[in-house]
Chains A and B, each alone.
Chain A
Amino acid sequence: MKLSKVFICTAIISSLVMAKENKKISIEGSTTVLPIAQIAAEEYMMANPDVDITVRGGGSGVGIASLIEGTCDIADASRSMKDKEIKTAVNKGVNPVAHVVAMDGIAVVIHPSNKLKEISKEQLKAIYTGKYSNWSKLGGEKKKIIVISRDSASGTYEAFSKLTMDGERVRSDALLSASNRAVVTTVENTPGAIGYVGLGYITSKVKAIGVDGVQCTKASILSGEYPLSRPLFMYTNGNPCGQLKAFLDFVKSKEGQKLVEESGYVGLK
């Protein structure tokens, strides 16, 4: 009895000491990269119980600001750092290093009955800002365009609007769907509809069309040829070492990239 108590006490004390030695990694930034960071952190902590990773959203700008302030170790970003941010970082003695962890590609989908095969970025913008309201403007039949967008708070929406809208607002009568799945279901059922979804959500009941002459495929997204694609970054201060390096290596590894694909993005491998 006594022996077991002693044993438990030592166990508790040693675990407390161990906890102090726990390596902490804090990740902050883009909500687009958030699902990747989250699932990667979970898997990594499962394999390395002595590492404690906290993941927060906030947006790319917030994450980068935190990295510059030194309040986080990794800044998630769905865009590369702006010149101004790099300047501030250098002034504060921070040396940001970019790590591409995944590619994000957005496919434009229409109803299979629609004969349109391709669209240009300008046309896409004209449709989503409300300049074009009829398919006849794009050489199709006379039919109202039903514009389907994602909720303005979603990462897919953010990416789409950054890549095509040049800061202009999506027309207010666009249908806002709560998920990629909902967009696909609506497009499946609506002959005049146009929508956009992550590459992984395309089904056989909708038609994905090329943008600026490039079809949306894994290869064209990886090469950066497809216009509605962008790399997703994790920024660190200087070249990472120790646990930080191990974690980033894990994200970039085959296993990590599988998690990336599970989150609906395009893996690099």
Chain B
Amino acid sequence: MNFKTENIIKSGFGILAFSSLLFLLGIIVILFKEGLPIFKYVKLFEFIGGKFWYPTYDPPDFGILPLILGTFWVTIGAMFIAVPVGLGSALYLHEIAGYRERAVLKPIIELLAGIPSIVYGFFGMVILAPFLQRLLNIPIGLCLFTASFILGIMAVPTVSSLAEDALDYVPKSFREASFAVGANRWQTLVKVVIPAAGSGISTAIILGVSRIVGETMTVLMVAGGAAVIPKSLFGPVRPMTATIAAEMGEAVVESAHYHALFGIGLILFLITLIFNMIAEMIGRRYRLKLGLGR
């Protein structure tokens, strides 16, 4: 291959790589441009701390605290499922499962990630919610608990496969050294392998959180959708993503409501951005500590 074609191919791929940067910049610019005007109508504190979300009344209330707390509690609840199940399956796959089990289990867990979120939502709405409602004798199945449960399952593959990668990164020499000084399998796992993979495992959990925070279709269908500060595990909630999805189609363009929805999007974006940055930072620090340099 001559020099010229190589250069063309190089720059071609370069453009493709940088195009995602362009998309990201475009999204950020639009989010700020359309989101910031809401602060002409309400103050930042009233927006984030306000307890009432009545965007279409006269006068309207643009308080998104119930929405933020909705997202917050759903995420916490989902972590109670995603973290134990995700980490547990990663540990099992990596430490205990034989070659054959692994060959079956790993693709199945990853298949969970491939199911469209609307299918999860549909399953939750039509099957799980009525079932839980009868089982627990609660007034309504569309609630914080159901949403958390389903989102937790949805985040399992993210947590599991990233955590397993982290376990894989732990150098063999660590394990061998531990066995050499007489530690048994459990001691090696708890005292050496897991701490060494700690960064990767935290990254896995944080990216799992990001996935849950950003999930839209499922919460729109199963969370109940009441914009109220959640008081019980079995009460309805309205996460931020669901609010945007449900209302954007009907909001008058350039109205206060429209800007408020973009404002919510902006805050969501900042939340996931912070999570991803933390994940990146933790990852870098621990890798240096391990002497992996990557």
Query: Using a CB–CB distance below 8 Å, which chain A residues touch chain B?
Result: 31, 57-59, 62, 143-144, 146, 151-155, 157-158, 169, 172-178, 182, 185-186, 189-190, 192-193
Identity of the chain B residue whose Cβ is nearest the Cβ of A152 in the assembled complex: B56
Q: Tell me if A173 and B247 are in contact (CB < 8 A).
A: no
Interface status of B140 (Cβ within 8 A of chain A)? yes
19 additional A-B residue pairs with CB within 8 Å, beyond A62-B252, A172-B228: A59-B252, A146-B140, A152-B54, A152-B56, A152-B57, A153-B55, A153-B246, A154-B250, A155-B250, A157-B56, A172-B53, A173-B228, A175-B142, A175-B225, A176-B238, A178-B225, A185-B126, A186-B125, A186-B140
Q: A182-B221, A189-B129 are in contact. Are A173 and B257 (CB under 8 A)?
A: no
Closest Cβ–Cβ distance, residue B128 to chain A (whole Å): 11
Q: A151-B247, A153-B250 are in contact. Are A173 and B140 (CB under 8 A)?
A: no
Q: Tell me if A31 and B226 are in contact (CB < 8 A).
A: no
List A contacts of B130 (CB < 8 A). 189
List A contacts of B142 (CB < 8 A). 175, 186
Q: Tell me if B133 and A176 are in contact (CB < 8 A).
A: no
List A contacts of B140 (CB < 8 A). 146, 175, 186, 190, 192-193
Closest Cβ–Cβ distance, residue A191 to chain B (whole Å): 8
List A contacts of B235 (CB < 8 A). 173
Q: A146-B139, A151-B250, A153-B247 are in contact. Are A169 and B220 (CB under 8 A)?
A: no
Closest Cβ–Cβ distance, residue A193 to chain B (whole Å): 7
Interface status of B86 (Cβ within 8 A of chain A)? no
Q: A153-B257, A178-B245, A186-B142 are in contact. Are A173 and B54 (CB under 8 A)?
A: no
Query: Can you give 9 contacting A-B residue pairs, CB < 8 Å?
Result: A152-B54, A172-B52, A172-B66, A175-B140, A175-B224, A176-B225, A176-B226, A176-B246, A192-B139
Cα distance A57–B141 in the bound complex, in angstroms = 35
